[in-house]
Structure formats: structure tokens, C-alpha cells
Structure 1
Amino acid sequence: MADGECAAPALMQITVVLSRAPRQVSECTVQLPPGSTLADALQAAGPLAAQREGMVCGIWGRVLPETTVLKDQDRVELYRELKVDPKVARRERFARQGARATGLFARQRPGGKSGY
């Protein structure tokens, strides 16, 4: 490099992922300057993240505020709202199947109580 020239900062590669419905995943890769935030990545993703009302965002499975500074190779994810609480779904599934037909309790000793 000649005197007085500065090297341009290397761009970070960020992957933006959105799943609007089960088994439907949209993904795009954007390049951003160092120091960019989660909000910058969503804006750079353009139409992919344009309709994100009611969606929460995060990085690698952790919900984080949009002011979070990104690192190279981060995966920005948009999470849709859950329709059913996982705990409630499990309780309902357990009630439907009965105690004797579920996972650990399926092969219990004869005459034993559920959960033992």
C-alpha cells in the first residue's frame, strides 16, 4: 500500500433467516460493515424482512434487541409467534395418550404406578 492509503474495512457476512410457516424457510446473505446492528441486517435483507410485524428477532436462537452489534458469520433469525405454548401442548398430548402410552412410562413393570 502507498503512504496515506487506508485499507477498506472487511465486510461481515451475515445470514438472515425467516420461517413464516413450518418447513418454509427463506434465507439470504448480506454483507455489512463492522459495527452494524441487528436492525441494519434486517434493513439490508430488504423484502425478506419487510413484513416482520409481530415477529421477534435474535441471533443463533437467542432473542436479542435490534440494537445488538453483529459479528462476522452471525445468523440473524426472525421468529414467528407460537400458536400454542409448548407446555400446554405437552399436557394436552399427555392427557390424550394417557399415562401408560407415553415415553418413559410405556414399559413399566406390571402393576407399577405411572412415573415409577
Structure 2
Amino acid sequence: MAEADIQVQVCHALPDSSFLRSLTVPAGTTIGQAVERSGLLQEMPGIDLAANVVGIYGKRKPLDTVLREHDRVEVYRPLQADPKEARRRRAGNKPA
């Protein structure tokens, strides 16, 4: 008996465009496999899964994480600035 298929989404956002695709994949599919099947890497060739962080609903996950029904895989952009350093700069610029 074959395992059931599950519904998942793959998304990625840039300042000027976004990618969101719903997929039906076999149970047992990993994050990496879902990203490859979604067509994201072909539509946005600048994405490198070895360098970009991925997650499910805002929680960082490794590429070999097995997906569950209705998971939303998110491929994140690299940070432009270290959040702690940016906070220090803002705090340092405030008048006493």
C-alpha cells in the first residue's frame, strides 16, 4: 500500500517579487526535495540551498527535515546586517 500524498507550500520573498507554490508531494518528502520540485530554483537562479537558510513557518530547519501535511517551506534571504550590531548603532545614536 502506497503512502498518501500531502499538500505543502514553498515560498520565497524578495523586495520586488515573491514565489509561492502549492504542491502535492508523497509522504516522506524532505524540505530539499520539495524546494526542487517546486521550480523555485529555476525561477530564481540566485538561490543556493547550501547558503540560504530554510524553515517551516518561521522555524529554521535542515534540508533533510521530513514534511507534514500543510507545512509551508520558507527559503530565507541572507541578512543584510547583523541584528545585534544594528540595534547597538541605533541605541548609540539616541540623545541622552
State the TM bucket, normalised to the shorter chain: 0.7 to 0.9
Greater Rg over alpha carbons, structure:
1
Provide the aligned C-alpha RMSD in A.
1.8
Matches within 5 A, 1:36-75: 36-46=29-39, 48-50=40-42, 51=45, 52-53=47-48, 54-75=51-72
Aligned to 2:12: 18
Aligned-residue sequence identity (percent) comes to 36
User: Could you report, residue by residue, the CA deviation over 1:57-99 in whole angstroms, capped at 9, with x for unpaired residues?
Assistant: 1111122111111000001000111011111111111122234
Aligned to 2:91: 94
Aligned to 1:32: 25
Structure 2 alignment gaps of length 5 or more? none
Using structure 1 for the length normalisation, give the TM-score. 0.68
Using structure 2 for the length normalisation, give the TM-score. 0.81
User: May I ask how many residue pairs the two structures share in their alignment?
Assistant: 91
Q: Letter of the aligned partner of 1:49 in structure 2?
A: L
Residues in 2 aligned to 1:78 and 1:95: alpha-carbon distance in whole angstroms: 33
